[in-house]
Amino acid sequence: MILLIFGAVQLGLIYALMAMGNYISFRILNIPDLTVDGSFALGMAVSVMTAISGHPLLALVFAALAGACAGLVTGFLQTKVGINPILAGVLTMTALYSVNLFIMQGKANQSLFGHNTIFSMLENLGLSKNASRTVVVLVIAVLVAAVLAVFFKTRFGIAIRATGDNEEMVRSSSINANATKCVGFALANACVALSGGLVCQYNQSADTGYGSGMLVVGLASVIIGEAVFRHGGVTRGLYAVLTGAVLYQLIIALALKVELLPAYGLKFVSASIVTIALAMPKIKSIIGDVIKRKKEGV
């Protein structure tokens, strides 16, 4: 049971990076970004090939940079080409499937068994397997959240937040809203790809189809985190997302442990959580109307 909890916490911290990316696009920029599924797999592809060449630490850096490039493409399609935000994300995500196969030399999956990973590097220093995994993912997740929290308090970070709140006001203030959007998407997808790169080294394998459904998992983490911490500033929101990702993985792990649902039902559960959470304002409104009518005797 302890190992199960450790594993869930580790995965939660890894997926928290992806959830932070979703938080940036959906909550800060207030724009739906469907690039996530493709950029997550992109991070895996870049990470596995770089790690195979003997550079597991650089693999994570390159994965994040590749994800940032994918985000810039989506931002460019939206701001310069004038494509609908949802369609722009879909187009980038679709193109990334071929890009990922190209990076992985035409193979749908690649194995890292027999090669060094960022986790095995710490194991070589004397740490146990569980300790090395926990230390790596905890340090990276907290560090990324801290860096993003500081960034979004800078002048340019505030401009990105303002773009999501009121784009017309930002443009009237002579701020380049197109640039803030592109940087926002780059940051979001860099986080997502970094998460994919870590998952790749954690599982010691990469698969081009692994990113399917990651958007829903990220949204579920965001919603659970916000339900626990309520609404607040960006810093609070980022750490709420981190907590939500860990709680989500713990819920899934416990559900599997007691066999409440088969393994192939996890994405259905994720979709259900997101659907219910998004429908809550409407549900509360309906309940409020019913209570009001009863009080008025209608």
- pLDDT tens by residue, 247-266: 888 888 777 777 666 767 77
The tally of CA atoms less than 13 A away on the side-chain side of residue 141 is: 31
Domain regions of the chain by residue span: 2-260, 265-298
The CATH class of the 2-260 domain is mainly alpha
Banded pLDDT at 5 (limits 50, 70, 90): confident
Q: How far apart (Å, rounded) are the C-alpha atoms in residues 20 and 144? A: 9
Instruction: Report the pLDDT averaged over residues 3-21.
Output: 88
**Count, residues in the chain:** 298
Q: What is the value of pTM for the model shown?
A: 0.90
SS3 136: helix
Q: How far apart (Å, rounded) are the C-alpha atoms in residues 221 and 193? A: 17
Q: H-type helices in the chain, by residue range?
A: 2-23, 36-52, 56-79, 85-103, 118-123, 129-151, 155-165, 167-172, 177-203, 214-229, 234-257, 266-296
Residues 6 or more apart whose CB falls under 8 angstroms from that of 72 comprise 182, 185, 186
Instruction: Report the pLDDT averaged over residues 111-137.
Output: 86
Q: How far apart (Å, rounded) are the C-alpha atoms in residues 21 and 27? A: 10
pLDDT at residue 28, rounded to an integer:
92
Q: Which two tokens stand for residue 179?
A: 């640039």
- Annotate 100-130 with DSSP letters as a single string: HHHHTTT-SEEE-TTS--HHHHHHTTT--HH
Give ∠ CA 15-32-20 in degrees, rounded to 5: 25
pLDDT cut 90: percent of the chain above it: 49
pLDDT at residue 259, rounded to an integer:
66
Instruction: Report the pLDDT averaged over residues 58-81.
Output: 95
Rounded mean pLDDT of the chain?
Answer: 88
- Annotate 53-97 with DSSP letters as a single string: TT-HHHHHHHHHHHHHHHHHHHHHHHHTS---HHHHHHHHHHHHH
- pLDDT tens by residue, 15-32: 999 999 999 999 899 988
Q: Which two tokens stand for residue 294?
A: 């009863």
Banded pLDDT at 298 (limits 50, 70, 90): low
Local structure of residue 12 (DSSP, 8 states): H
User: Could you give the dihedral angle defined by the CA atoms of residues 204, 189, 142 and 272, in that order, rounded to the nearest 10 degrees?
Assistant: -80
Q: Which two tokens stand for residue 235?
A: 């810093």
Local structure of residue 207 (DSSP, 8 states): E
- pLDDT tens by residue, 170-200: 888 888 989 999 999 999 999 999 999 999 9
